[in-house]
Amino acid sequence: MLSLLFGTLVGAALGLTGGGGSIFAVPLLIYGLGVAPREAIGLSLVAVSLTAASGVIQAARRGVIEWRAGLIFAGAGMVAAPAGVWLGDRVAEPVTLAAFACLMIGVAARMLVRASRAPDDSRVVRARVSAEAGRDSGTVCRYATDGRLRLNAPCSAALLAVGLLVGVGAGFFGVGGGFLIVPALVWVTEMGIHRAVATSLFVIAAIGLSGVASTLAAGRVFDPGIAVGFIAGGLIGMTLGRLAAGHLAGHQLQRVFAVAMLVIAVFMLYRLM
């Protein structure tokens, strides 16, 4: 029952925040359900990738996914995710948890900055995406007059580089990496925030599945009862996030999630002392 509840919380956070919500999965699995750290990382990848996949369906129907850029980004991430899993198996668990806590602090800081500097963007959530009215200016990838992204050599190289980085992080930490993917897509390309969020769902699902395959190949096993409950809860939470997004999503909610991340990160560091 707890696995269903915690999975629902993670799914709702993923749906409402537009990035960083899935980072709650690993600490909830470890400290709330007593799952071993490496098993928690693998199970988090499963839940996050499947939850993101459910959002891809809606985004694809609305035609707001930048498929070509997403495929390059996801392809690089899928290649790199097994390296992250391999690296995680060779790093001591306390070191992994300490690094994860530091990651949470970094994500929380970014959410607080985004909520203050770009409150309108904080209302863009994964569960409710729409076609943007315009595109943000970019420096590497640009759109042609026909509306198609120019995938020249510098653009493709930039997408590949960031995809490799996100893939390693996803495999190592067991997170979707949306907190990196969305700003990377906005920074590297000219796509607007809505399209970047939608495209990130596709990237998260693809990279997550690659990480899951590598996790299973590495011999990590999951408790079936916890796995089913957590995954089902994630899908339920994503649906609830979609329904509540228009009423709750915003900079105040971003701040609440950021503070929650900071509290959990401090707790994790305290437990490691």
Distance CA 19, CA 182 (A): 7
Residues shown for the chain: 273
Task: Name which of 21-30, 161-170, 226-235, 238-247 the model is least confident about.
Answer: 238-247
Average pLDDT over residues 244-265: 75
Distance CA 49, CA 52 (A): 5
Contact at 8 Å (CB) between 218 and 38?
Answer: no
Q: What is the mean pLDDT of the chain?
A: 81
Distance CA 144, CA 180 (A): 25
> Strand, coil or helix: what is 126?
coil
Contact at 8 Å (CB) between 260 and 113?
Answer: no
Measured CA to CA in angstroms, residue 100 lies from 24, 130, 168, 231 at distances of 11, 32, 13, 21
Report the share of the chain in percent with pLDDT over 70: 85
Could you tell me where the beta strands, DSSP code E, fall in the chain? Answer: none
pLDDT above 80 (res 168) = yes
**Pick the residue with more confidence: 156 or 139?**
156
Average pLDDT over residues 101-116: 82
> Strand, coil or helix: what is 128?
strand
Work out whether the CA dihedral 131, 132, 135, 141 comes out positive or negative.
negative
Distance CA 127, CA 263 (A): 26
Cα 120 from chain centre: 20
Contact at 8 Å (CB) between 214 and 82?
Answer: yes
pTM for this one?
0.78
Residue range of the domain that includes 211: 2-272
Measured CA to CA in angstroms, residue 18 lies from 74, 88, 89, 106, 231 at distances of 18, 26, 30, 16, 19
Nearest to 212 by CA among 178, 179, 174: 174
Contacts of 216 (CB under 8 A, 6+ apart): 42
pLDDT band for 4, please (50, 70, 90 cuts).
very high
Contacts of 165 (CB under 8 A, 6+ apart): 80, 180
pLDDT band for 80, please (50, 70, 90 cuts).
very high
Contact at 8 Å (CB) between 103 and 41?
Answer: no
Distance CA 213, CA 104 (A): 25
Could you tell me where the beta strands, DSSP code E, fall in 109-239? Answer: none
Q: How many domains does the chain have?
A: 1
